[in-house]
Structure formats: structure tokens, C-alpha cells
Amino acid sequence: MLVQSKKEKLPIVVTIHGGFWLSQYGLEELNPICTNLNQLGFATWNIEYRRLGELDVGFSGTYNDVISALTLLKI
């Protein structure tokens, strides 16, 4: 893992796994890609969202999950 000083700003890559909307596929699917991006000097923000079988799944719930995650990211 690449260690950076807290004052150094890194380029950020936001990953959204997709997961086919199925609950058995989660954000861990992108862990190898995020690890590789970290090794290349990028910070990664691997976000999650609701999928089939979860409350309020679909356009509005999933959309709100993504927007909420991006809002937490401070650049």
C-alpha cells in the first residue's frame, strides 16, 4: 500500500461496482482494482448502493446512495 503524507493531495478515483444489482455481488468485487490504483498513487473511494432484495431498491434509492457517498467525499 502506498503511504502518502496527509498534506499531499492525491487524485481520487471513485469506483461503483455495478454488481448486476444482485445482493451476492458487492463492492469487494473491485478491491483488486482499487488496490492497484492505490499502488499507482491514486486514492480510491469504493462505494456501495442498494441492490435487489433490499429496501427502496431501484432508481431513486440506488441513485440516492451514490449521491450520498459522493457528497461525503471532500475534495
Q: What is the pLDDT of residues 19-59, one digit of tens each?
A: 666 777 778 889 999 999 999 999 999 998 887 777 777 77
Q: Name the grid cell of 15.
A: 469506483
In the chain, where the domains are located: 12-72
Q: Name the grid cell of 13.
A: 478515483
Q: How many residues does the chain have?
A: 75
pLDDT number for residue 5: 58
pLDDT number for residue 6: 63
pLDDT number for residue 33: 95
pLDDT number for residue 42: 95
Model pTM above 0.75: no
